Chain A
């Protein structure tokens, strides 16, 4: 029962470098989310997906891209990393259409990725 798995757990990037964060869930969830957490700011939604092949912008999408080619995976890409993207990134998933009502959608979180851009 892995739940939501994020890789990598830690990463240091130089300004201008690119990287992809991977999120995988094994609960057959329809919805997946990427958040960033910064001190004093709580969790802010970057992008989300309501199903395979679909993505949508959240609160702070600039500088990030996402893809949901497979239902179980949600990738977050940074094309040209900036120091302002130093943060802890959390992936979450929710809503198994076969198990619960759409109106009882608790989210399950990964353990986070600590990214530092220098």
Chain B
């Protein structure tokens, strides 16, 4: 079964508003990552937060991680129409020397001009 589960499945907001997306996971992780996918394209890495970090910023992105609740949130501030895309969380789970990056089902974000 998939490691990460995003919430909500779909989100529609007005340009300028903030968008908050959540991700929950099941097992211990080395890090958690957020990716964006524009329609018909490959995924693009947005931000990575390590298991010993609680918050991280990158431009208009803010990600938090709560390892006790096994959850993360991605906040996009002052959204733009160009932020319209699908967003995925991915976990790099603890488990020996191998790395197995697993993804959730994704959140569809629509930003209305």
Contact = CB atoms under 8 A, between A and B. Distances in A.
B99 A112 contact: no
Contact of A94 (B1, B98, B99, B105): B99
Interface residues of A, number: 30
Interface residues of B, number: 27
Interface in A90-118: 90, 92, 94-95, 102-112
Interface string B76-113: 00000000000010101000011111111110000000
B interface secondary structure, majority: strand
A43 interface: yes
Given A31-B99, A42-B104, A42-B105, A108 B2 contact: no
Nearest to A3: B42
A59 B97 contact: no
Interface string B5-32: 0000000000000000000000000110
